[in-house]
A and B are shown apart, each in its own frame.
Chain A
Amino acid sequence: MTTELPRLADVFRGLSRGRHICIDDGESYWALKENVALFHDLFEALGFKLIAHQKNFFYFEGDERLSDASARLVVFVFILVEWLGDAGVLVEEELLRREFSIQELPHFATDRYRSYMVQVGVTDHDQFLLLVKTIERLGIAQLITESRLRFRTPIYRFLDLCLKADGQTQTSGST
């Protein structure tokens, strides 16, 4: 019986607003993890597609291909990955292990990075803070304080895009 699904209201409220639910979300995550097939069937009947990522988090797949908001998120993460790579650390490990000060984030630190942000409509620090808030709302990161954040496992959804970008380069390079 779908009405017996635990935390159904919380889970639906979060997922339908674009949130990615991972182990940090506690009961909502475990409710999904332990009843994934039932949740999947219920949400499918309601017209939503529940995705269970291999890195253990859940989200609803949206309808739009790449909205303006999504483009901002993608560019935010790409800059972060390149910056960490240049710093000589293991990107994946560092992203999930470290707490970042919002001030230290590189997105407006160089002209090149700033131009990328401007291209997707993030032109100043206030808009950048709004983007950070969006990232938190979607469950990609968690704000520890007003000025510090740490990334959660759903960041893998964006790392997958980095690998895809590299795959496309290799493919186009080989053809």
Chain B
Amino acid sequence: METSPAAFFRFAAEHHELLVDLFRRRSFTEGELHEVIRRHERPTHANTVHVAEQLQSLGVIEPAPEATSRLEITRPVASFLEFLLREHRLSSANVIQGYLADLSELSTELEHAIRMKHDHGVERALQEVADEVDQIRQDSHANRVGITDEALKLKTNREHRPARLRYETVNRLWDRYIVPLRDLLDTSKAMDAALDRLLLIVQEGQTVYEGDSSMAREFASLRARLIRLRRDAGADHVESVKEISPLHESLRRDTLLVRGASTALERLGREGVTALDVFDLKICSWRREGLLRDAAVEAFLRNISGYEPAPPGPLPEMPTSELPATISDADLHERLSAAGIIPDVLGWLTRQFPTVSLSEILRARASVGARMPHARRSDPRMSDDVGVSR
């Protein structure tokens, strides 16, 4: 059934808060619908059941396709509310590419009609091309607004979503909308090619219909639309990139930082401190050792300047009793000569020098041996281990 625009707008003016509420919910049961209607009810409103019926009859809501018990806002009304609320659905590059393909077909149609001087065909093609061009411009603008809104939401981050999740969102925007559109606009220049071709056809049409003021006006109008589309689509894209690019980069970097830190901590927990060995963090910790401070050096130099050494004091004399007892070689030789054959040299030395230490006795015993290098144990004059002779 055809919807009366007047009836629709009257209802919308009266119940705009209800419409926005239902739009935000997207899908709802009949019970939920009645509850929402009651929440926005005013004394001037009709009863709940009547409002629910109006919503259906005006084409605002319809049964959801997946379940008869659920209802949803119809697509045209949702699009209209998206436009009013600046909650634009983003058009992917594939959608834009589809428009360009349509535009190419319509261009061929227009060109053919012009060459055939088929006035009605030219008029129809001009109108369709103009609609298509406006649709592309509208979608391009909606994308710019949608991306800007999304970027703002990500920047303010009222929901405190971690950088990783925000990066996923911004990365999707980047990969799905920005990069393919850049390919269309800058790399393959598909849009430029389509618009250039159309402008040539329009130019041809203007020449052919030079004398027809009505047709000439239509061609001039389409030409202006094409120029506006080229300008606006480029600007929309540049602005979208400006809006999203810094955010994309900062979230990308943040995501890498957090992911790196988490990975390193996870390895630390699993493998212990050896997991940190991969990090080449060399912090200087040089210490001055054995160096004097300038002030200390100065004080030292002041103390030694003009220093004159005092004469050394006399060496102290050691008391005789404290002198270590020794056996002089001369005394030993004299006593050996007087002793004749000595059966026990060590015993003889001990008896001869009772006050000397054992080490001195042994030194003297070695001296006796050195004096008699020819002596042998077999010598009859020898008695103990080393023989002594006169």
- Chain A residues within CB distance 8 Å of chain B: 15-18, 48, 59-67, 69-71, 73-75, 77-79, 81-82, 84-93, 112, 115-116, 119-120, 138, 157-159, 161-169
Contact = CB atoms under 8 A, between A and B. Distances in A.
Interface stretch (B15-23, B192-200, B257-265): B257-265
B307 interface: no
Contacts of B278: 164-165, 168
A112 B279 CA distance: 21
A85 B258 contact: yes
- What size tier do the contact residues of chain B reach? 35 or more
A115 B257 contact: no
B263 A169 contact: yes
A162 B284 contact: no
Contacts of B261: 77-79, 81-82, 85, 162, 165
Interface of B: 157, 159-164, 166, 250-251, 253-254, 256-265, 268-269, 272-273, 276-286
| Shortest Cβ-Cβ A-B pairs, 5 listed | A85-B258, A166-B260, A88-B160, A60-B284, A165-B260
A85 B254 contact: yes
A48 B276 contact: no
Contacts of A82: 258, 261-262, 265
Consensus secondary structure, chain B interface: helix
B283 A162 contact: no
30 contacts: A61-B282, A61-B284, A66-B276, A70-B279, A73-B281, A75-B268, A78-B265, A78-B268, A79-B261, A85-B162, A85-B164, A85-B258, A87-B162, A88-B157, A88-B161, A89-B160, A90-B250, A92-B257, A116-B269, A120-B273, A157-B281, A162-B258, A163-B257, A164-B260, A164-B279, A166-B256, A167-B260, A168-B263, A169-B259, A169-B260
A93 B164 CA distance: 15
A75 B250 contact: no
A46 to B, nearest CB: 10
A15 B284 contact: yes
